[in-house]
């Protein structure tokens, strides 16, 4: 659906079109090899943000290169597409590694007959130029586990075996009621669908507020995949979801525990240093013309609040468990 078209039915996300997996042992035909793959993202996209966070926490910057598309999409053949531009470090509007202007070129290189949607994050094979996967759900799990042999010393265990069932259950609840529900509210075709979606959003936020009042992270004393999947929605909440998507019963900053938790994560290496508020506001307010036809981009809120003291360390725990923090952000990726 074009972002210029008003919604006529409830938003439904299509399943990932390409789901090849890259693993440590190559058991599905693709092996995790340093330099072979390029991760294509957009800084505005919460699903892509997850992948960037995991890549940074695991220290995979040298193993998997990063390509950043423009926060504004370009209309190609009547549909919006992720493209590369001078402003995001692509001379001549082409990615310097893949040599393409629009991400859809990697999709078509994989399947010339493909007519479906184009999404980020996308993992692309540098040697062939073919898209490998756009399965955002599986990608972070594999980056955190299957790429572990190429990870930095001290990389955290984000999906520990003993917690996987609990992580999976919690992540599904967060996805249904929050990650995706903010979109269902923003693009609701009528009052009934909006009311249901916004009710789910704040019901989940209320539950998370209670959960995080007495614990530092979602599953105890260290970061897991669950925290990584929650953060991109929280960091976008007051900036775009509260106003632009009409999720305005409360602001994130009005939840004492959640707001402190979100600031704790933001100030942890891998989270705030992968967040680009300028790209977030620009993309949402400009591209979603159906719900913001003037394309006026909001100026706020003031992001300095994200750097204020959170005092969550008093709850104990350590973000990386027995591991260590990642090093500095690579020079070409600093925000």
Higher local confidence (pLDDT), 10 or 19: 19
What is the spatial distance between Cα 248 and Cα 327, in angstroms, rounded to a whole number? 37
Q: What is the pLDDT of residues 26-43, one digit of tens each?
A: 999 999 999 999 999 999
Q: Domain spanning 37-150 has what CATH number?
A: 3.40.30.10
Q: What is the pLDDT of residues 296-321, one digit of tens each?
A: 999 999 999 999 999 999 999 999 99
Six-digit token string for 137: 């759900």
The owner of tokens 């508020």 is 277
Parallel, antiparallel or unpaired: strands 37-41 and 122-125: antiparallel
pLDDT at 308: 98
Q: Where does the pLDDT of residue 201 fall: very low under 50, low under 70, confident under 90, or very high at 90 and above?
A: very high
pLDDT at 8: 60
pLDDT at 77: 82
Q: What is the pLDDT of residues 262-306, one digit of tens each?
A: 999 999 999 999 999 999 999 999 999 999 999 999 999 999 999
Give catalytic status of residue 247 as yes or no. no
Q: Where does the pLDDT of residue 4 fall: very low under 50, low under 70, confident under 90, or very high at 90 and above?
A: low
pLDDT at 79: 86
Please identify which of the residues 37, 45, 255, 286 carries the catalytic annotation. Answer: 45
Average pLDDT over the chain, rounded to an integer: 96
CB 122 within 8 A of CB 139: no
Dihedrals phi, psi of 147, to nearest 5 degrees: -95, 5
CB atoms within 10 A of CB 221: 13
What predicted TM-score, i.e. pTM, was given to this entire model?
0.96
Six-digit token string for 133: 């996967």
Higher local confidence (pLDDT), 16 or 244: 244
pLDDT at 1: 34
Give catalytic status of residue 284 as yes or no. no
What is the spatial distance between Cα 309 and Cα 311, in angstroms, rounded to a whole number? 6
**What is the domain class of 162-333 according to CATH?**
mainly alpha
What is the spatial distance between Cα 232 and Cα 210, in angstroms, rounded to a whole number? 20
Share of the chain above pLDDT 90, in %: 93
The owner of tokens 């995991």 is 54
Dihedrals phi, psi of 144, to nearest 5 degrees: -80, -20
The owner of tokens 């955002």 is 136
pLDDT at 7: 64
Please identify which of the residues 37, 159, 171, 183 carries the catalytic annotation. Answer: 183
What average pLDDT does this structure show over 3-12? 63
Strand extents, DSSP E, the chain: 37-41, 64-68, 74-76, 79-81, 122-125, 131-133
pLDDT at 31: 98
CB 79 within 8 A of CB 262: no
Six-digit token string for 72: 């504004």
Sequence-separated contacts (24+) of 89-95 with Cβ below 8 Å:
89/332, 95/38, 95/40, 95/67
Q: For the chain, which residues make up each domain, given as ranges?
A: 37-150, 162-333
């Amino acid at each position: 659906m074009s972002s210029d078209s008003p919604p006529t039915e409830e938003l439904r996300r299509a399943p990932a079109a390409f789901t090849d997996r890259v693993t440590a042992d190559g058991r599905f035909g693709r092996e995790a090899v340093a330099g072979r793959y390029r991760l294509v993202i957009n800084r505005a996209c919460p699903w892509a943000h997850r992948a960037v966070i995991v890549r940074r926490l695991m220290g995979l910057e040298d193993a998997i290169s990063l390509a950043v598309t423009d926060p504004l999409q370009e209309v190609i053949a009547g549909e919006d597409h992720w493209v590369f531009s001078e402003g995001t470090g692509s001379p001549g509007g082409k990615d310097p590694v893949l040599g393409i202007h629009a991400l859809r070129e990697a999709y078509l290189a994989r399947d010339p007959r493909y007519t479906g949607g184009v999404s980020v994050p996308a993992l692309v094979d540098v040697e062939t130029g073919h898209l490998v996967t756009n399965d955002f759900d599986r990608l972070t799990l594999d980056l955190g586990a299957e790429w572990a042999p190429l990870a930095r010393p001290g990389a955290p265990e984000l999906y520990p075996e003993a917690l996987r069932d609990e992580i999976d259950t919690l992540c599904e609840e967060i996805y249904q009621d929050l990650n995706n529900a903010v979109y269902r509210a923003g693009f609701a075709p009528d009052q009934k669908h909006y009311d249901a979606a916004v009710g789910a959003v704040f019901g989940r936020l209320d539950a998370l507020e209670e959960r995080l009042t007495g614990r530092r992270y979602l599953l105890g004393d260290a970061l897991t995949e669950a925290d990584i999947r929650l953060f991109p929605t929280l960091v976008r909440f007051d900036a775009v979801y509260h106003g632009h998507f009409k999720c305005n019963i409360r602001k994130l900053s009005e939840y004492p525990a959640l707001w402190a938790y979100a600031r704790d994560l933001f100030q942890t290496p891998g989270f705030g240093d992968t967040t680009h508020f300028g790209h977030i506001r620009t993309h949402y307010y400009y591209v979603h013309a159906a719900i913001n036809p003037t394309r006026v981009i909001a100026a706020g809120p003031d992001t300095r609040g994200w750097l204020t003291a959170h005092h969550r360390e008093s709850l104990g725990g350590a973000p990386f468990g027995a591991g260590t923090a990642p090093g500095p952000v690579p020079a070409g990726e600093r925000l």
